[in-house]
Amino acid sequence: MKRRKDTWLLILTAFSAVMMMVALYLALAGAPDADLKSETGRYAQRIIYFHIATAWVGFLAFFVTFVGGVGYLRTQERKWDILALSSAEIGTVFMLGVLVSGSIWAKPAWGVWWVWDERLTISLIQFLIYVGYLMLRAAVEDPARRARFAAVYGVVAFISVPINFIAIRLWRTQHPLIFGSEEGGGLGPNMMFAFLFTLLTFTVWYITLMGYRIRLERLRDGVEQLKQTIMG
- The answer to whether residue 209 scores a pLDDT higher than 60 is yes
**Does the reported pTM lie above 0.85?**
yes
Res 150: pLDDT: 97
Neighbouring C-alpha atoms within 13 Å toward the C-beta of 157: 33
Closest residue by Cα to residue 196 from 14, 77, 72, 31: 31
Classified as helix, coil or strand, 209 is helix
| Residue range of the domain that includes 220 | 2-231
> What's the one-letter identity of residue 80?
W
- The answer to whether residue 219 scores a pLDDT higher than 60 is yes
Closest residue by Cα to residue 32 from 189, 178, 184: 189
Burial of 195 (0-12, 13-18, 19+ CB in 10 A): buried
Mean pLDDT throughout 161-168? 86
- The string of pLDDT tens digits covering residues 112-145 is 888 888 888 899 999 999 999 999 999 999 999 9
Of residues 31 and 51, more confidently modeled: 51
Res 6: pLDDT: 77
Q: For the chain, what percent of residues have pLDDT higher than 90?
A: 54
Mean pLDDT throughout 75-101? 96
- Cβ pair 27, 49 in contact under 8 A: yes
Of residues 120 and 109, more confidently modeled: 120
CATH of the domain at 170: 1.20.120
Residue 161 CA to residue 195 CA, distance in Å, equals 21
Q: Please tell me the total count of domains within the chain.
A: 1
Residue 56 CA to residue 39 CA, distance in Å, equals 27
Number of H helices, E strands in the chain: 8, 0
Closest residue by Cα to residue 199 from 96, 17, 55: 55
Residue 218: count of CB within 10 angstroms of its CB:
14
> What's the one-letter identity of residue 150?
A
Mean pLDDT throughout 187-192? 67
- Cβ pair 31, 54 in contact under 8 A: no
Residue 27 CA to residue 49 CA, distance in Å, equals 6
Closest residue by Cα to residue 59 from 39, 82, 83, 88: 88
Res 175: pLDDT: 64
Residue 184 CA to residue 178 CA, distance in Å, equals 9
Residue 25 CA to residue 196 CA, distance in Å, equals 14
